[in-house]
Amino acid sequence: AGAARRRKAAPGLGKSKATIKGRVVKSAIEEYHKKKAVNHLRANLQYMTNGRCVADKAVTQQVLTQNRGRKSKDRPSEKKAKKKPEGTVFTEEDFRKFEREYFGM
């Protein structure tokens, strides 16, 4: 009797999903707003700066760093100190004078 019931009710045969009857139409904009991440940074910073006990600058900086993200595209590029080309002490005239004295030109 149990095997006959199992054969009779084949798996996956349920209510037909091909019809629109009984479906609720969802607004794409509402779904987007529902799933969109909320940015609490401004409210948190205002709370931390306006309170009686002002947070340390290190803590505020840490919050800003965490909010920025962990991916490399979110990180600011580290500014490397530009090396100045090493200039010579001698001018062009000094070099010509040296040539005349040393090489006798």
* Rounded (5°) CA angle 70-75-76: 170
Q: What tokens appear for 40 in the block?
A: 């609490």
pTM for the complete prediction? 0.26
Which tokens belong to 67?
């909010």
Q: Print pLDDT tens along the chain (105 aa).
A: 666 666 665 555 566 667 777 777 788 898 898 888 888 888 888 887 887 776 788 988 888 888 887 777 777 777 777 777 777 777 888 888 988 888 876
At residue 74, the pLDDT reads 75
DSSP letter, residue 72: G
CB 68, CB 74: distance < 8 Å: yes
DSSP code of residue 9: S
pLDDT at 61: 87
